[in-house]
Amino acid sequence: MSDEGLLVTGIPTSEELARVTPPRERREKGPCVMIECFQRIPCDPCHYSCRFGAIKEFEDINDVPEVDWDKCTGCGMCIAACPGLAIFVVDESTGNEECRIAMPYEFVPLPEKGERVRLFDRAGTEVGTGVVERVIPGQKPQGTPVVWVRAPKELSLVARHLAVNREG
């Protein structure tokens, strides 16, 4: 991944990602949020969607979200609330070989539980496959569907999009 910068490439740098990545010990305890929101913009639905106070209150609506990982339950409510599709949940507590990743998905048809999907990184490069564990349809009028995928553990901080393997 290039470290030229988000504004140049559209892809966050390793330094930007390091600032928002939950500590390994926390990821191994259970699901926790990873908010990949790096720009100061007027947006705060993630804070209001969190019933547990894990996404700290903003002093200014333009603030970048901050997470108290000790309060995060990994419920994923903030994923559906984020209009920028910048929130994911990672869970490395499922064993030595696999992880779970929850990600927003705005395409139709939605994948189905048990379906094998292709996984992609932030640059759109295919990085592996996973199996859909759960699909939570978005609530109208707002709310993005959230797809939970079981994948190889090394993809927990890499896979950020999926594609279904259906033909026409």
Rounded Cα distance, 3 and 82, in Å: 25
pLDDT at site 2: 44
Q: Is residue 95 part of a domain?
A: yes
18's CB contacts (< 8 A; 6+ apart) are none
pTM of the full structure:
0.90
Among 161, 167, 138, residue whose Cα is nearest residue 149: 161
pLDDT at site 96: 82
Q: Please work out, in degrees rounded to the nearest 5, the angle formed at the alpha carbon of residue 66 by the alpha carbons of 70 and 139.
A: 90
Q: What is the largest CA-CA distance in the chain?
A: 48
Among 6, 154, 149, residue whose Cα is nearest residue 88: 149
Assess whether pLDDT exceeds 80 at residue 156: yes
Q: Is residue 66 part of a domain?
A: yes
Per the structure, the complete domain to which residue 84 belongs is given by: 6-164
Q: Is residue 160 part of a domain?
A: yes
pLDDT digits (tens, 9 = 90+) for 29-46: 999 999 999 989 999 999
Q: How far lies 165's CA from each of 65, 104, 149, 157, 162, in Å?
A: 34, 18, 14, 22, 10
Count of domains forming the chain = 1
Tell me the β-bridge partners of 123: none
pLDDT digits (tens, 9 = 90+) for 95-136: 889 999 999 999 988 999 999 999 999 999 999 999 999 999
pLDDT at site 142: 67
Q: Is residue 89 part of a domain?
A: yes
Q: Is residue 132 part of a domain?
A: yes
Please tell me what DSSP assigns to residue 97: S
Other beta carbons within 10 angstroms of residue 166's beta carbon come to: 10
Task: Name the average pLDDT for the chain.
Answer: 91
